[in-house]
């Protein structure tokens, strides 16, 4: 009586590389209803940017109309955009009715 059949050993290659999520920019958009102080405080509160970095970004937003304030994963970028949108109005400017606007863009 023959013994149990055995199969030859075969090597199976598996690709175990971790795929990274593509990064996204959180882009703060300019408006005339928020002060530099507001922008600096918001960037410090939401992103942990020091005052100097906040001022630099506020100046870029003011002069160029937009500034990248963070580059991160899509999920975190969406969270940060939503936090900007819900940060509230600038109490220093009476005509200010709400928070600033931000958008996401794929980082190339």
The answer to whether residue 17 sits within a structural domain is no
Cα atoms in the 13 Å half-sphere on the side-chain side of 3? 2
- Overall domain count for the chain: 1
Q: What is the pLDDT of residue 96?
A: 93
The answer to whether residue 95 sits within a structural domain is yes
Q: Using alpha carbons only, how large is the chain's radius of gyration in Å?
A: 24
Encode pLDDT of 11-35 as tens digits.
666 667 777 889 999 999 999 899 9
Q: What is the CATH number of the domain that holds 92?
A: 3.30.1390.10
Look at residue 14 and tell me if it is in a domain: no
Check if the beta carbon of residue 45 is closer than 8 Å to that of residue 54. Answer: no
53-71 pLDDT, tens digit per residue, is 999 999 999 999 999 999 9
- 43: nearest Cα among 72, 82, 70, 76: 70
- Residue 33 belongs to domain spanning: 24-106
**CA gap 104, 35 in Å, rounded:** 22
pTM of the predicted structure, to 2 decimals:
0.80
What residues contact residue 82 under an 8 Å CB cut-off, 6+ apart? none
pLDDT score recorded for residue 82: 98
């Amino acid at each position: 009586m023959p013994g149990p059949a055995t199969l030859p050993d075969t090597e199976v290659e598996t690709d175990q590389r971790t795929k990274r999520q593509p990064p996204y920019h959180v882009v703060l958009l300019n408006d005339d209803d928020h002060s530099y102080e507001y922008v600096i405080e918001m960037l410090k509160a939401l992103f942990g940017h020091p005052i100097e970095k906040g001022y630099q970004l506020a100046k870029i937003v003011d002069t160029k109309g937009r500034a990248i304030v963070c580059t991160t994963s899509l999920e975190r970028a969406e969270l940060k955009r939503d936090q900007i949108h819900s940060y509230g109005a600038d109490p220093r400017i009476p005509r200010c009715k709400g928070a600033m606007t931000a958008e996401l863009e794929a980082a190339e």
